[in-house]
Amino acid sequence: MTARLIGPGVLAAMGLYVSIAAWDLGVWDLGEPGAGLFPLIFGTALVLLGSFAVARSVLVANAKLGARSGAGNERATAIPYRLTVYLAALVAYAVLFEVLGFAVSTACVFMTILVLAERVSLWKSIAITIVAIAVSYLLFKTFLAVPFPAGILG
């Protein structure tokens, strides 16, 4: 239920920001549609739809609470360990991709996910990482000429 309140709420807030910014861009100028017209229309739609969704979720939640008075509060669920490792690895991948280069950053992410999240044995993880990086390097760098960042190896 919390996610169903926060999601539409965030979208409504985003729509509000877009609508205000769109107004500043200019909606109509010298008899012609301005750059802000389209974002204003759909930003406003987001505000209205999001607000309606939030209001509906609150009414439904209140109706359920009224029907089951004395029921306990919604339990907060902890983020699973595997998911936490994946999220951290993804963020680190983005930050380190150019700094450390393709090979080193990919190796770090692979080892983190395989060893820490998926509990694959160390030697198996190293073997998988080496093969994956080698094949990707051949395919993208050699065959498709994608200029990977060299990072600390360059």
Partner 1 sequence: MDFLTNLELGFSIALSWHNLLYCLIGVFVGTAVGVLPGLGPAATLSLLLPITFGMDPASAVIMLAGIYYGSAYGGSITSILLNIPGEAASVVTCLDGYQMARRGRAGAALGIAAFGSFIAGTASILAISLLGPIMASAAVRFGPAEYTSLVILGLVLVCFLSEASMLHSLMMVALGLVLSTIGLDPILGTERFTFGSVSLSDGINLAVMAMGLFGIAEVLALAGKKPEEANFVKQPGHLRDLLPNREEWRVSAGPIGRGTVVGFFLGLIPGGGGILASFASYVLEKRLSRTPERFGSGAIEGVAGPEAANNAGVQATFLPLLTLGIPANVVLAITMGALLLHGITPGPRLMIEHPELFWGVIASMYVGNVLLVLLNVPLIAVFVAMLRVPYRILAPLIVMFCVVGAYSLNNNVADVYMVIAFGIVGFLLRKASFDAAPLVLAFALGQLLEASFRQSLLLRQGSMVIFLERPVSAVFMLASAALLIVPLIRHMRIRSSGLKAE
Nearest-approach distance from CB 103 to partner 1, in angstroms:
11
- The candidate with the shortest Cα–Cα distance to 113, out of 99, 102, 124, is 124
Residues 66-105 touching partner 1, rule: CB under 8 A, are: 79-80, 82-83, 85-87, 89-91, 93-94, 97-98, 102
Nearest-approach distance from CB 72 to partner 1, in angstroms:
22
Nearest-approach distance from CB 122 to partner 1, in angstroms:
14
Nearest-approach distance from CB 67 to partner 1, in angstroms:
13
Dist CA 147 CA 154 (whole Å): 12
Dist CA 90 CA 73 (whole Å): 33
Torsion angle, alpha carbons of 92, 97, 99, 105, to 10: 70
Q: Is residue 108 a contact residue for partner 1 (CB under 8 A)?
A: no
- Dihedrals φ, ψ of 47, to 5°? -60, -50
Q: Which one among 18, 100, 101, 103 touches partner 1, defined by CB under 8 A?
A: 18
Dist CA 1 CA 136 (whole Å): 42
Dist CA 39 CA 19 (whole Å): 7
Q: Which one among 59, 114, 121, 154 touches partner 1, defined by CB under 8 A?
A: 114
**Are 89 and 109 within 8 A, CB to CB?**
yes
Residues at the site binding partner 1, with contacts judged by CB under 8 A: 3-4, 6-8, 11, 14-15, 18, 21, 25, 28, 31-39, 42-43, 45-46, 49-50, 52-53, 56, 79-80, 82-83, 85-87, 89-91, 93-94, 97-98, 102, 106, 109-110, 113-114, 117-118, 120, 128, 132, 136, 139-140, 144, 146-149
